[in-house]
Amino acid sequence: MRNKEKGFSLLELMTTIAIVAIIGAVGFPAIDNFGDQENYENDLATIRGQINYVRQLSLEDGNAYTIRIINDTSNNTADLEVWQAQGLNRYNVEYHKSTSTKCSDFDGTDDKGTKIASLTKKLQHMTIKRCSSTTGNCTAVSAANNFFCFLPDGSAPENARGEMQSSDNAGSKKEYLHTYQTGFFNNGTRM
């Protein structure tokens, strides 16, 4: 009886290394891209959650609210601050619709309301600039007017659009956020 040696031949070892290299070359970019998509989706979920929550607040307590977007373009992040209307007009839907830059004056003295710091959410990989129109290229409004408003009845004073720009580690995507007078919103193509 002959003793057989146990082990791999050089050909088997080279074949195994080649297969592992091919799988790595194909799989690594997909895994790397997965992290970018996850970063993008996390920020998008934060935006959706913040809008839904603030809209619900306006319906529950009958106040007007704004979500003010404070962009940090050097880090490609943003804070989504929640501001609540104060004063006699805080429940007045028509008043907020009539102010020049709708919802910009919450109490009649150029006041933007009271900030509720505990409700601020942070976007880790994205900035949002509100556009001056709902069509065409996005011309950003001033930083003071970079907000979306919800009226005391949960509606919005006007149709609006914002340009969302994600960082390199979130896919470098540019997409639009649309709000409608009904209070409904979506991202992507305007409905």
Q: The domain containing residue 28 runs over which residues?
A: 10-187
Domain assignment of residue 173, yes or no: yes
Amino acid at 182: T
Give the pLDDT score at 35: 77
What are the residues whose beta carbons fall under 8 Å from the beta carbon of 86, sequence distance 6 or more?
106, 107, 111, 113, 114
Domain assignment of residue 141, yes or no: yes
What is the DSSP secondary structure assignment for residue 90, as one 8-state letter? G
**Which 3 state secondary structure label does DSSP give 65?**
strand
What tens digit of pLDDT does each residue of 91-101 get? 788 877 887 78
pLDDT band at 107 (very low <50, low <70, confident <90, very high): low
Domain assignment of residue 78, yes or no: yes
Mean pLDDT of 173-183: 95
The tokens of 54 are what?
């603030």
At residue 161, does pLDDT exceed 90? Answer: yes
At residue 108, does pLDDT exceed 80? Answer: no
Contact 66, 103 (CB under 8 A): yes
Q: Is the pTM of this model over 0.85?
A: no
Q: How far apart are CA 21 and CA 11, in angstroms?
A: 15
Which CATH number characterizes residue 113's domain?
3.55.40.10
Give the pLDDT score at 187: 93
Domain assignment of residue 1, yes or no: no
- Hey, CA dihedral for 190, 160, 134, 161, is it positive or negative? negative
- End-to-end, the C-alpha distance of the chain in Å comes to 80
At residue 111, does pLDDT exceed 70? Answer: yes
Mean pLDDT of 106-120: 84
Domain assignment of residue 4, yes or no: no
Q: How many domains does the chain have?
A: 1
Number of other residues whose CB lies within 10 A of the CB of residue 160: 22
Quote the mean pLDDT of the chain. 88
What is the DSSP secondary structure assignment for residue 169, as one 8-state letter? G
Length in residues, the chain: 191
pLDDT band at 76 (very low <50, low <70, confident <90, very high): very high
Domain assignment of residue 124, yes or no: yes
Give the pLDDT score at 170: 92
At residue 32, does pLDDT exceed 60? Answer: no
Domain assignment of residue 2, yes or no: no
Contacts made by residues 28-33, CB under 8 angstroms, sequence distance 24+ = 33/171
What are the residues whose beta carbons fall under 8 Å from the beta carbon of 108, sequence distance 6 or more?
87, 88, 89
Mean pLDDT of 31-54: 88
pLDDT band at 34 (very low <50, low <70, confident <90, very high): low
At residue 4, does pLDDT exceed 80? Answer: no
What tens digit of pLDDT does each residue of 121-158 get? 999 999 999 999 999 999 999 999 999 999 999 999 99
Contact 64, 88 (CB under 8 A): no
**Which 3 state secondary structure label does DSSP give 43?**
helix
At residue 1, does pLDDT exceed 60? Answer: no
